[in-house]
């Protein structure tokens, strides 16, 4: 579960945290696009290294490393799958190439996880919700998103209370074979779901009572303005993209084996 730790927002004061989420998301998309452009190890290593200064400026290094660790399992699956299939296809002679190729594919995945991780670690859910609103995503969707996030801790606590209540009636969640254990979760799930439905009804009442749907032109307490830092990141991202396209088209990329025979 530590991969998910790397996705949870960390309330820290850093210039990255203050950036517009739309700009950060642009960065993530472009990093992903560049990663897909390349199958060679060296450019992918450089792409990975580019993330690091951003992580440090954002002061989320520890959590970011945790997300890397969490991704390690999936990363190793990607490595071994690529390795085995390349080996079967190309044979023993091309071993160095196969290794380099498998590592490159794995690194592509890690770059993706890394950039998404920076995004979620530095973007608070309400900031993200605001960005969604400003991006002309229909308000119902944005509202559903932020409300869901708002209720996550509430539901988690309620699940715990329900478990306690049923344990106090002799329910033993740890015992029994696989099937019995699944059945034992019914006394937890049903109250959870029923209460969630009840809660939704109460929420709907409260929403209506506060003029929900009064106008299609909803206004907003907050503004999302692009600032210096945002333009800087946009510029940097575009520069990296242009460089990457240039290198892809005109610069031959050596294999690691050619540099270190």
Among 12, 33, 194, 245, indicate the residue that binds other proteins (CB under 8 A).
194
220 close to 9: Cβ distance less than 8 angstroms: no
Structural Rg of the chain based on CA atoms: 24
Query: Residue 42 CB: number of other CB atoms within 10 A?
Result: 15
Query: Closest approach of Cβ 150 to other proteins, in Å?
Result: 5
Enumerate residues 144-183 that contact other proteins by CB under 8 A.
146-147, 149-150, 153-154, 158, 161-162, 164-172
Least separation in angstroms between residue 162's CB and other proteins is 5
Q: Which range, of 49-57, 78-86, 120-128, 246-254, touches other proteins by CB under 8 A?
A: 120-128
CA of residue 241 relative to chain centroid, distance: 21
Nearest to 130 by CA among 15, 22, 18, 12: 22
Q: What would the x/- binding string for other proteins be over residues 66 to 105, using CB under 8 A?
A: ----------------------------------------
Q: Which of 4, 33, 126, 137 binds other proteins (CB under 8 A)?
A: 126
249 binds other proteins, rule: CB under 8 A: no
In the three-class reduction of DSSP (H, G, I as helix; E, B as strand; rest coil), residue 52 is classed as helix
What are phi and psi for residue 40, nearest 5 degrees?
Answer: -90, 150
Q: Alpha-carbon distance 200 to 194, whole Å?
A: 10
Crossing angle of helices 125-134 and 139-167, in 10° steps, is 150
User: Where does this chain bind other proteins (CB under 8 A)?
Assistant: 124-126, 129, 143, 146-147, 149-150, 153-154, 158, 161-162, 164-172, 186-187, 190-191, 194-195, 198-199, 202-215, 217-223
């Amino acid at each position: 579960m530590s991969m998910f730790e790397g996705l949870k927002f960390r309330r820290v004061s850093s210039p990255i945290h203050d950036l517009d989420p739309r700009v950060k998301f642009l960065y993530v998309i472009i990093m992903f696009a560049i990663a897909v452009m390349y199958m060679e190890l060296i450019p992918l290593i450089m792409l990975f290294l580019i993330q690091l200064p951003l992580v440090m400026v954002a002061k989320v290094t520890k959590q970011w490393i945790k997300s890397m660790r969490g991704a390690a399992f999936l990363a190793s699956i990607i490595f071994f799958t690529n390795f085995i299939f390349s080996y079967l296809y190309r044979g023993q002679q091309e071993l160095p190439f196969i290794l380099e190729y498998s590592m490159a594919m794995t690194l592509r995945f890690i770059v993706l996880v890394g950039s998404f991780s920076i995004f979620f670690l530095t973007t608070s859910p309400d900031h993200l919700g605001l960005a969604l609103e400003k991006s002309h995503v229909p308000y119902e969707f944005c509202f559903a998103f932020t409300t869901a996030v708002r209720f996550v801790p509430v539901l988690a606590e309620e699940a715990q209370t329900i478990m306690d209540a049923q344990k106090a009636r002799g329910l033993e969640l740890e015992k029994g074979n696989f099937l019995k254990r699944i059945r034992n979760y019914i006394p937890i799930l049903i109250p959870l779901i029923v209460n969630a439905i009840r809660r939704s009804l109460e929420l709907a009442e409260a929403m209506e009572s506060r003029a929900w749907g009064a106008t299609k032109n909803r206004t907003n307490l907050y503004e999302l303005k692009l600032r210096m830092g945002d333009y800087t990141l946009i510029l940097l991202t575009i520069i990296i993209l242009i460089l990457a396209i240039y290198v892809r088209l005109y610069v031959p990329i050596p294999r690691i084996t050619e540099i270190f025979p």
